[in-house]
Homo-oligomer: A and B are copies of this chain.
């Protein structure tokens, strides 16, 4: 709270709840207050820009239960829309609107952006391999792990590559997930599960609503 005064927070909440979906003004205010608290733990110079990568990854890990390094880095990059290496308060609230209350469409867009590692509009074979390889190592493996990965990528492409160009476009991914929702997070967990969402909302929105 020390970083922003009450008036400023109310003003910002007023603006944000109009620009960002799924939160009303009181909720936006709670999220801004919470953000201010999270920033408080960062050195002042950095706090002015927003949450840095390390701090943001800690939140993904501790609060949202994420464990995959590739995914946590990608989620940071997708939250950080202006690509300035900090997640600002607006970027935080925008990201949370998908995390906590996103529609299926919004989540498809989010996951696709996470999985499109180089941002060229396609999930390529190489990108799939990069996202899947860490998980495969934990499988009981009797054979060449690279062979195993290639097979998984082939299966993924068979399910997803509707236009048969050897890579997954946004439209391919959208069709796939609408047909089988479970495939939303096919290449890695990048959204919080229901339990974490419940716990997060309880923590964030309890005050000042109920006191």
**Residue positions of A touching B, CB distance < 8 A:** 37-38, 62-63, 65, 67, 132, 135-136, 138-140, 148, 151-152, 155-156, 181-189, 193-203, 206
Contacts and interface: CB of A to CB of B under 8 A. Distances in A.
A63 B140 contact: yes
B199 A194 contact: no
Copies per assembly: 2
Contacts of A132: 195, 198-199
B188 A195 contact: yes
Top-5 shortest CB links A-B: A186-B194, A152-B202, A182-B194, A151-B202, A62-B138
Interface SS of chain A: helix
Nearest to A102: B182
B138 A63 contact: yes
A1 to B, nearest CB: 12
Nearest to A201: B155
Contact of A195 (B140, B185, B193, B198): B185
B151 A206 contact: yes
B181 A186 contact: no
Contacts of A188: 195
A196 B135 contact: yes
A199 B140 contact: no
A42 to B, nearest CB: 14
